[in-house]
Structure 1
Amino acid sequence: MQLSKQEQGWIIGIDGGGTKTKAAICDRSGRVAAIVTGDASNPLSRPWSEVEITIRHLIEELVRRAAIRASCVDAIYMGLAGADRPAVSAQIEASFGPEWQGRLFIDNDAVPALYSGTWGEPGVVLIAGTGSIAYAVHRSNRRYRVGGWGYLLGDEGSGFDVGRQGAVAVLRAFDGRGEATTLTQLMLDHYGLKAPDELIAYIYGSDNPRKQLGDCSRLVEEAANQGDEVALRIIHQAARSLVELVGACHAKLGEELPVVLAGGLLTAETRVRRELMEMASFAICTPTVPPVIGALVAGMQRLGRQLDPDGIRQLQMLQGDGEGSNVDEG
C-alpha cells in the first residue's frame, strides 16, 4: 500500500552514550514527535547483545509514540561510540542493516554533539566528560579526531583526569612529597574514610575505578572554589589540555572552525569551562539543543535535506506539539 505524504519522511536519530542513550523521531518538517531514553549503548564498553536490545527497544518505543509504522521511517541515524571503526560499524550493520536496508546511517557519537551546535555545518566538537576528545568535520566531509584514546592512554582534561590528579595530590601530600591540600579532607569525607591510604583499597577494589575517580572531579572543583592552590593547578592544566586538543584539530583542518563544547565538564558552569573560555582564541558555538537533536540533523543531512530556519525552529521545539508526555526526562 502506498503511503501518503504525511506518513512518509520520518527520521529517527540515536545519540548513544556510555551512561545512557537518547533517541528521537521527527517528521519531514522537523517536528519532534518523541524523545526517549534508554540504557548505555557504547559498543566498546558493553556487550553488543545488550546494546542491540537497548536500541531496538528505543526504536520500537519511538514508532509507537509517533503512532506510525516502521515503514514510514526514511532514515535511522545512529551516532555510537567507535562507530567509525570498521569492526564496530560492521557489527551494527549486521544487526540492523537487513531490516533498515538503504535507510541505516552509522556514525561516530561525536557528530550529533557537533551538529547540536552547528546545525550540520562544519566545525569541531570538544567533548570532556568522563573522557575527552576533539572531533572535526571539514566542509569536504573529511573527519579528524584528536585524543579519545581512553583513560589508560589519554583522556587529558577529562573528568577522570581531573579526579585522578586530585587523588594523586592527596596521596602525595600524605607521603610528604606534595603540599597540603583541602582535597584530603574532602575525599575522606566523600568516601567515608579515616586516612588517605585507605583510598588504595577503595579505588582498586571498586567495580568501576574509572567512574570513582571521575566522580572525584567534583571534589577538585569544590577545593578550587575554596582557593586551594593544588586544585587550582589541576583545573588550570585540564583546561590547557583541552585547548591543546582543539589546537591540534585546527592544525589538521588547516583552518579554525567554530568549536562546540560538549560533555558534563564543559556544558555545566564548571571552573574547567571558565578557564577554557578565558584561554580560548577560537570561536565557541553554544548548543541550544541536546545531541540527540543533532542526530536528527545528521539524519536529514544524509537524506540530502536542507535545513531552513523553519526546520531549525521545529527541531528546537523539543516537545513537538507541547509540554508533552512524549518527551522523557533524564
Structure 2
Amino acid sequence: MINVLATDAGGTSTRAVILDQTGQCLGYGFAGGGNPVSSGPERAAASILAAAEAATDSAGRQPADVEQILIAMAGMSVSGATDWVTGLLAARGFPVTVTVASDLLAIFSSGTWQQNGYAVVAGTGSAGIRVRKGRVERTADGLGWLLGDVGSGYWIGHRVVNAAIASLDGRGENTALAPLLVAALGIEHSEVPGPDGRPASLRDVIEALYSLRPVELSRFAPLAFEATTDAVARAILDDAVLELARLFSAIRSPDLAGPLVLGGSILTAQPLIRDGVTHALSAQGFTPEVRRVPDGVVGAAVLALREAGVSVTAEVFERIGTTLARLR
C-alpha cells in the first residue's frame, strides 16, 4: 500500500496529511509558516518537517513508510530548488525526492476532483488560475503588494488606511474608518496640535503605520466590513468586487467550462464580496458551480496521489475530504 505525504505550505501555517492510495487520510499535522519566500528557508523547512512528523506520528507511521512527498506552495517557489527542505527531511528519514506544486492548483483541487475549471483566491493577496487537464494554463495577478493583489486583504486594508489618513488630515471625506483605525491602533484620539501643526493622534497613527511592513496593512481590511454603511468604506468594497471580477475575466476562456473554486478569507468569509463577485460574473453570462475551500490541503493530497500515478475519481476525492475532516 502506497503512503504519500501531502503538504500545504502557506505563509502563516503549514498543513500536512499522510494518506494511502485509496484516498484514506491516516494522519494530519499542523505547524507554522512553511513558505521560504515569506518565512525564510530555514524556518520554512522546520515548519514543513514539524507538520510532516506530526502527520506521520498521528498515523502511526515512520518517515521511511512514506514513499512520496508533495509540497504545495506559492508560485514563486515552485520552479526553484528544493534542497532547502529535502536535506532536513532526509536527515529525519523521509524520502529525498520532493515534488513542489502550485498552491493555487492545490486550492483548485481542494474544491473538485475534475481537471478543468478555475480558481480565484483573495486572502492577504489575490490571484486566479485557469486549469485545463489538471495543469495551470493561465495565471493572473498573485504579483504581491507592490504590483497587484487586487481586491485582497492587503489591497482593501491599504485603501482603508489611505482613506482614514486623508480624513484625519483634512484632505479627504469624513469617514467612519478614521476613528476605527485610530482605535484599532490603540491610540487615544486628540485634536491638540503638535510642533508640526498636526493633531497628536494623527502623528501617532502615522508613526504606528510606518512601523509596519506593507503587507501588514491587510490587518485593517476588516474595518471596511465593520463600516459597510459608510460611503467611503462601501466604495472600497465595491471596488474590490470590481477588481476581483476583472481578475476572473483575465483567466476565463470561452471554450473551458468547469467549477469556480474560491479560496482566501476575503472570498470565503465575506458574503458581501463573494456575492458581489458571483453577481458580476452572472451579469457577464458566466454562472459556474461555485465552491468554497478553507485551504489547499485536500488539493495537495489530490495532487500527491496523481503524482504517484493514482487516478483520483469522485469517490477517492470524497474519501479524502471525509477522512481528513475526522483528523482535523
Q: Same-fold call, TM > 0.5? A: yes
Q: Which has the higher relative contact order, 1 or 2, with Cα contacts under 8 A spaced 6 or more apart?
A: 1
Where structure 2 has 5 or more consecutive residues not aligned to the other structure, the ranges are 190-200
The counterpart of 2:303, out of the listed 290, 298, 301, is 298
Residue pairs, 1:69-108, within 5 angstroms: 69-82=62-75, 85-89=78-82, 91-92=84-85, 100-101=95-96, 104-108=98-102
How many positions carry a matched residue from both structures? 310
Mapped to 2, the partners of 1:178 and 1:309 lie a distance apart of 53
Read off the aligned partner of 2:95 and give its amino acid letter: W
Judge conservation of contact 1:43–1:51 (CA < 8 Å) in 2.
Answer: yes
1:198 to 193, 197, 204: 204
Q: TM-score, normalised by structure 1?
A: 0.85
- Aligned position for 1:248: 250
How do residues 244-283 of structure 1 correspond to structure 2 at under 5 angstroms?
Answer: 244-251=246-253, 255-281=256-282, 282=286, 283=288
Whether 1:183 and 2:177 are equivalent positions in the alignment is yes
Q: CA RMSD in A?
A: 2.4
Structure 1 position 57, deviation (Å): 2.0
Q: Which amino acid aligns with 1:262?
A: G
Give the distance between the partners of 1:169 and 1:284, measured in 2 at CA. Answer: 36
Residue among 204, 210, 221 paired with 1:217: 221
| Cα separation, partners in 2 of 1:136 and 1:168, compared to 1, 3 Å | same
Q: Structure 1, unaligned stretches of length 5 or more?
A: 1-7
Q: How does 1:19-58 map to 2 (within 5 A)?
A: 19-58=12-51
Is 1:233 paired with 2:227? Answer: no
Residue 185 of structure 1 deviates from its aligned partner by: 1.5
Q: Does 1:132 align with 2:126?
A: yes
Counterpart AA for 1:148: G
The residue identity in structure 2 corresponding to 1:317 is T
Q: How do 1:54-73 residues align onto structure 2 when only pairs under 5 Å count?
A: 54-73=47-66
Offset at 1:35? 1.6
Aligned-partner Cα distance in 1 for 2:268–2:248: 16
1:131 maps to amino acid: G
* Counterpart for residue 197 of structure 2: none
TM-score, normalised via structure 2 length: 0.86
- Is the contact between residue 171 and residue 197 of structure 1 (CA under 8 Å) also seen in structure 2? no
1:120/1:297 contact within 8 Å kept: no
Worse-superposed segment, 180-189 or 285-294: 285-294
Task: Give 2:127's aligned amino acid.
Answer: I
Deviation of the 1:284 alpha carbon: 4.2
CA distance in 2, matches of 1:142, 1:231: 35
Shift of 1:274: 2.3
Higher helix share: 2
Shift of 1:243: 1.1
Q: Distance in 2 between matches of 1:14 and 1:264?
A: 20
Task: Quote the Cα distance in structure 2 between the aligned partners of 1:116 and 1:75.
Answer: 19
> Superposition pairs for residues 129-168 of structure 1, below 5 Å?
129-139=123-133, 141-168=135-162
Counterpart of 1:204 in structure 2: which amino acid? Y
| C-alpha spacing 1:248/1:15, structure 2 compared with 1 (3 Å) | same
Shift of 1:93: 5.7
8 Å CA contact 1:16–1:78 kept in 2: the answer is yes
Q: Please say if residues 288 and 316 of structure 1, whose CA atoms lie closer than 8 Å, have aligned partners that are also in contact.
A: no
- Give the drift of 1:48: 0.5
